[in-house]
Amino acid sequence: MTVNGIEHKILDHGYVKLIETWGSDYRIIEAARMSTQKGFEGWGDNTPCNYDMAAAQTGKPCKRGMHNCGVDHKVGDERLLRYLWEHNHATPFEMAGMVIEVQAPIFVFREWHRHRTQSYNEMSARYAPLPDLNYYPTVERLMMGGGHLTKQAGTAAGAQTLTEQAASDFVASLHGNYVAAQILYEESLKDGVPKELARLCLPVGRYSRMRASANLRNWLAFLTLRMAKEAQWEIRQYANSVAEIVQQYFPRTYELFAEAR
């Protein structure tokens, strides 16, 4: 088991921090060979292949060990790993995974929690007041729009074209709303309103924290959806950070994932 304090800063007050990982690329191979009892036999020697004629036409190198490319090299268990991935033998990829800690706006968590194959434990405002941290989108972010490739997430029907001045005014108004919500929250707590009800005035732009745990198969499913250009920009920033951690600790599997995107 790997324990590491890797931490990536996201948005204005957010972060993704690695808590621990388990398993590895070679543990996936071991799991896949349970029936043959061969276990992990080793990776190849990483000698780069030359291009063959077909590969040269596409600009991509041949897949090592998949055909004769004219270079002598040792073929290792990377071939089996590729076979598992390309033929959707997904169960062995459940033999590795990781736990991360995330600080993100509540609206990001509402999207994140749709991935029900992950396990979550989020801080609860029933028991402790949420910190006074709120997400402020930049004017540049607002001018990007919200639709991406989906009409449903775009501007409201009949809306005017957003100007930089209107975007700047929105951020200023948002600040006022955040301040007013925090004042009401703090006064309610002082007046004895139960914490679980005093939180009703808090906006979805308020930051919360959670830990999320999943096996590698399900982290890659998360990345498939949340790194896509159709995903909301904010959660994509978190997904990109998760991808960097996956790439560092499960590099051979991540390489196959990246090839397929």
Task: Provide the annotated active-site residues.
Answer: 226
Backbone angles phi, psi at 17, to 5 degrees: -125, 130
Amino acid letter at 167?
Answer: A
Q: Report which of 78, 123, 133, 75 is spatially closest to residue 102, judged by C-alpha positions.
A: 123
CA dist 134 and 175 (Å) reads: 9
CA dist 135 and 141 (Å) reads: 12
Cβ atoms < 10 Å from Cβ of 134:
23
Task: Retrieve residue 91's tokens.
Answer: 């169960």
Cβ within 8 Å of residue 121, ≥6 positions away: 210, 211
Q: Give the CA count within 13 Å in the CB-facing half-sphere of 175.
A: 7
Q: What share of the chain is helix, strand, coil (3-state, %, to 5)?
A: 45, 15, 40
Cβ atoms < 10 Å from Cβ of 242:
23
Task: Retrieve residue 166's tokens.
Answer: 């209107």
